[in-house]
Structure 1
Amino acid sequence: MSNVNHAEAHSALLEDDQENRRQFVTFHVGAECMAFDMERVMEIVRVPKTVEVPLTPSSLLGLANLRGAILPVLSLRRVLQLDDAEQTDASRVMVLNYGGQPMGFVVDRVTRVIGVQPDAIENMEKVGSTIDASLLSGVLKNVEGQELVQLVDVDALTQQEYGHLKSISQVGLQNTSVAANNQILSSQNADDDDEQNILQLVSFSVAGQEYSFSIDATQEIIRLPSKINSVPKAPPHVLGMIDLRNRVLPLVKLRTMFNLPENELSEMNRIVVLTLRRGRQISMVGVVVDEVKEVLRIQQEQIEAVPALLLDSCDKQELEGICQLDEGKRIVTLLSAERLFHRDDVIEAVEAAQQSEQAHVGSISESQREEEDNMNLDAQAEQLEEEEPQLVVFNLENQEYGVMIESVKEILRLPENLTKVPKTLDFVEGMMNLRGNVLPIIDMRRRFNLTTQDGSDRQRILVLNHYHTQTGYIVDSVSEVLRLQPDQIEAAPSLSEDQAKIMGRIVNLRRDKRIITVLDPEQLLSANEQTEIVKQKDENINC
């Protein structure tokens, strides 16, 4: 009987021992063996692709898309002030829980999970370490073959980099958004009466020639997808159909339609999505072009009529006008979307797309189908024209950024010469004359402390609204205009005070695993910087 009692007592001691044991995940960073408390480790993943974020601590490698959620990824080596090393196949990201938010730390390799009794953890005062002792909660000695395992304090580790940002709240981000909306309203109200005489054109190149569509007819600009569904018995210039946010979009290649030399499609190609109206019916068609150039602002009187001889001989009724720019060195042909796509072959492609779309939703119930068939045409038009957020996407140092389209006044080519301004901010590239007005030009790379580059043909100037003033920002290229769903715009993680103000939002395209950092133009310059630039601008005007 006593043996039975002894066995039960021993079993109870083992159970208590297991309950009291603390678990840690051990890993290596260089020669150091460390561990995180198992309770704080959410998961361990391979090092994902990251999007860099300027104006943040150097320890931040970037933001990653982890199953649709935004994950800040940091280098633990940099946080601990150890030398950088190349990542290997063994490198992992340890995703830790910090105040309910995931934070990822890159380590050289993960080893194992260990369990220890609380009394096996020694205080840092008793042990020397090459790591800042304030980041450690204790050490383990001679555990599972390791002479010394340093226990990293998750809270201390994260607060060292981002603890000062606790005051930046969601309310602050919302206020930033409200300020941006107020800025849009202010800039719209401040437009001159002259604006009514301005035409905005989306210009693009096809076989070395420049064409344009009115921005009113342009729904959006998107990249060429990897898959295009063919249309049986379609003419050569009808490339096929693609899925655009659950709508079937027919694609037409303008090179082929205009009988211009053919070329292979590449990542440079863009699709200009146009809205077509036939009576009260609204449909869309995608036009494949070689490259989108810029958004032009043209006085109506600059549009010249197409010579009658050209119209009569070539039957080019789709040409709406011709615009000569740069003292006649540059000719842009304005196309009419309505006339161009009233051709029978294109109408057939659009109708085929509509039939395919109907087949796509063919699984709905008969009652639902009847209800949709009975929808009023005006209601359909209203649904298609419902306002959706639009983002102008541009590139800086191979990273994607964006600004909401309401903040973009226009997009310009970089002129050959800018007026240099001495003794000004180091990121101010100069000034230029824009239709009689002095426009300050800022190098966006230098503004974000990125490496500078030589000029290229792809560089553009984004003219952005700042309340009642405008400023031009040089970017590497402008790639597309995205039409977004509201739920694709999220608050960005607060990673530094400057970043939280300037880049408080991101666009998270979960299906494409693509993250675009959204800039708030109103926050790109501080009050002092704006005052300095306005002062330099006034001095140039007086000169």
Structure 2
Amino acid sequence: MASAQTRHRLTVRAGGARVAMAAEGVAEVIRTPRITRMPHGPPGLLGVTHLRGLVLPVVSLGALLGVETPTDTTRVVVLRRDPPIGLAVDSIEALNAAGDDDADAQHGRLLLDDASGARWFDLDAALQDRFAAFRAAPRALEREVVAGATVAKAAQAAFLGFVLAGQDYALPLDAVAEVMAVPKAIAALPRTETLLIGVFELRDAVLPVVSLRALLGLEQRDAQADDRIVVVRIGGHRLALLVDQISIILRVPREAVGPAPALFNRASGEARIDSVLRLPDGRGLVSILAPERILADERVSQLLAEAADQKDIAMASPSSATTRERFLVIRLGDETYGLPIAAVDEVVRLPETLTRLPKAPAYVQGVMNLRGKVIPVIDQRQRFSVSGEAAGEARRVVVVTLGGLQAGFAVDAVARILEVEAGDLMPAPELSDGGGRLFDRAARVEREGDVILLIDPRALLERAEADLLRDLTAKTRAS
């Protein structure tokens, strides 16, 4: 019975100091996982990670103690709190029985022993000071934004643009479930024609991968790094289409889309082209494919029928009772973040030249003309304090519009479109420094063991507008 009353002390090293804490306040100790950096976070916040259905903030214990040194953390001590928080430490030293002098450690205090001697450190006070708003926030705000954006864009037609053999094509965005890099584990099937590349597993379903080049009768080529998989919903099926490259997301008035000329459908390989869109500024035509015509292709329908008969490939669409949401995943440096697709107006290539604004802050790259509208372009690398410079053709401008606010955000690349089930969406902890809450949710990506922070589009726009007005006013006064 006496042993059940025994208290223990966990001793760790952080920033070169020895730190003891009550073991009863520790839920577990884990190896340092992959951590997603949270821009605008308080000093000492390393970022967030995913731990069994929770978004776990990870804080440097050395930074909290003010004894940070350039040592690498190897472990994260997960504190038994609601919600939990992780303390990144250099190493674990010991787990011992606690003495009588450790009573204060039961009340959120740490025993710190460094060059200045031994002393108590109030962990609770330090956390409250740096993370005063540390709590999970409701999802209602983001859902309201998405709903409003959906209504505002109802009069527009939205498309995902991609390239095949140097030509521009598009699919209705509503038919696109996901866009991703080509999986490494595509299983080739014996005795199949070039149309069917193979199959791969996606969330408990095995999807056939069809070459869209072969389907349209275009010249075949070897796989390349820019190749992408577009997962489309066609009737009661999901099908993976292999394309050369993703180019843009485009929203246009419905009247801007016209029927395809008969010339486009002169051959069986092109009979999937339903309509065409003439890009502004003489940028050419985009051929729009009809998903139902893809399914009508005898070869595709035969593949789906054979798979269903054999029951080797789970072709049924996910249960309609399961709520899903789609996100545009952008890349900035080594990190990826998500934006609700419903809030994204367009994705276009970053123009080679932008018109600079006099006295504009450095993070405003300039303005661009998008079908007669002048749109400011914000360098999101600077806004998120991403080190280094981005270059290359992968850079894109994500145009976001909500209410009377509209801006373009320059990103390193658009990584994918991700479809997430409601059960894999989690509230993000409120950790950012003032100025509104930029990340309101996080998405768990099970097959990658990763977590993607989701940006609240309204907060993104409002913060950009507020900072721009503040900086322009300050420069005007200074001059």
The TM-score range, normalised by the shorter chain, is: 0.7 to 0.9
Paired with 1:182 and 1:114, the residues of 2 have a C-alpha distance of 51
2:261 aligned with 1:294: no
Matched to 1:518, the amino acid is L
Deviation, structure 1 residue 505: 0.9
Q: CA RMSD in A?
A: 3.8
* Correspondence for 1:82: 67
Matched to 1:96, the amino acid is L
Deviation, structure 1 residue 523: 0.9
Q: Please point out which of 342, 365, 368 is paired with 1:429.
A: 365
1:407-460 CA deviation, whole Å, 9 max, x = no partner?
A: 111212212222211223443222222222222221212222333524431111
**Matched residue of 2:437: which SS?**
helix
Deviation, structure 1 residue 401: 0.7
Paired with 1:354 and 1:321, the residues of 2 have a C-alpha distance of 31
* Correspondence for 2:402: 466
Alignment check: 8 A CA contact 2:186 2:198 kept: yes
Paired with 1:429 and 1:332, the residues of 2 have a C-alpha distance of 28
Summarize the Cα distance change of 1:263–1:358 in structure 2 as closer, same or farther, 3 Å threshold. Answer: closer
Q: Please point out which of 321, 328, 348 is paired with 2:302.
A: 348
1:350-388 CA deviation, whole Å, 9 max, x = no partner?
A: 112323447869xxxxxxxxxxxxxxxxxx999659862
Alignment check: 8 A CA contact 2:75 2:88 kept: yes
Q: Please point out which of 416, 432, 448 is paired with 1:496.
A: 432
Alignment check: 8 A CA contact 2:327 2:339 kept: yes
**Matched residue of 1:158: which SS?**
helix
Structural mapping, 1:190-205, within 5 Å? 190=152, 196=155, 198-205=156-163
2:222 aligned with 1:263: yes
2:58 aligned with 1:104: no
Paired with 2:159 and 2:363, the residues of 1 have a C-alpha distance of 30
**Matched residue of 2:365: which SS?**
strand
* Correspondence for 2:140: 178
Deviation, structure 1 residue 317: 2.2
Structural mapping, 1:11-50, within 5 Å? 22-50=7-35
Matched to 1:93, the amino acid is V
Paired with 2:231 and 2:104, the residues of 1 have a C-alpha distance of 65
Paired with 1:276 and 1:111, the residues of 2 have a C-alpha distance of 57
2:353 aligned with 1:408: no
Paired with 2:104 and 2:343, the residues of 1 have a C-alpha distance of 55
Structure 1 stretch displaced more, 334-343 or 504-513 = 334-343
Summarize the Cα distance change of 1:500–1:263 in structure 2 as closer, same or farther, 3 Å threshold. Answer: farther
* Correspondence for 2:210: 252
Summarize the Cα distance change of 1:309–1:388 in structure 2 as closer, same or farther, 3 Å threshold. Answer: closer
Summarize the Cα distance change of 1:515–1:326 in structure 2 as closer, same or farther, 3 Å threshold. Answer: same
1:258-291 CA deviation, whole Å, 9 max, x = no partner?
A: 342422354x4322122334xxxx3332101122
Q: Please point out which of 69, 72, 75 is paired with 2:54.
A: 69
Summarize the Cα distance change of 1:186–1:318 in structure 2 as closer, same or farther, 3 Å threshold. Answer: closer
Alignment check: 8 A CA contact 1:72 1:493 kept: yes
**Matched residue of 1:484: which SS?**
strand
Paired with 2:113 and 2:384, the residues of 1 have a C-alpha distance of 43
Structure 2: runs of 5+ lacking an equivalent = 473-479
Structural mapping, 1:48-447, within 5 Å? 48-87=33-72, 91-97=74-80, 99-119=81-101, 138=111, 152-162=121-131, 164-165=132-133, 170=136, 173-174=137-138, 177-188=139-150, 190=152, 196=155, 198-257=156-215, 258-264=217-223, 266=225, 268-277=226-235, 282-298=236-252, 311-312=265-266, 316-321=270-275, 323=277, 325=279, 327-328=281-282, 330-357=284-311, 388-447=324-383
* Correspondence for 1:376: none
Paired with 1:527 and 1:104, the residues of 2 have a C-alpha distance of 28
* Correspondence for 1:3: none
Summarize the Cα distance change of 1:242–1:315 in structure 2 as closer, same or farther, 3 Å threshold. Answer: closer
Summarize the Cα distance change of 1:382–1:509 in structure 2 as closer, same or farther, 3 Å threshold. Answer: closer
Alignment check: 8 A CA contact 2:376 2:407 kept: yes
Larger Rg: 1
Structure 1: runs of 5+ lacking an equivalent = 1-14, 125-134, 362-379, 537-543
Alignment check: 8 A CA contact 1:207 1:260 kept: yes
Matched to 1:33, the amino acid is R
Summarize the Cα distance change of 1:80–1:283 in structure 2 as closer, same or farther, 3 Å threshold. Answer: same
* Correspondence for 2:475: none
Paired with 1:152 and 1:531, the residues of 2 have a C-alpha distance of 37
Q: Number of matched residues? A: 470
Alignment check: 8 A CA contact 1:324 1:330 kept: yes
Alignment check: 8 A CA contact 1:204 1:211 kept: yes
**Matched residue of 2:213: which SS?**
helix
Deviation, structure 1 residue 30: 4.9
How much identity, in percent, do the aligned residues show? 27
Matched to 1:92, the amino acid is R
**Matched residue of 1:260: which SS?**
coil
Paired with 1:469 and 1:533, the residues of 2 have a C-alpha distance of 13
Alignment check: 8 A CA contact 1:403 1:519 kept: yes
Paired with 2:31 and 2:389, the residues of 1 have a C-alpha distance of 32
Q: Which has the higher helix share?
A: 1
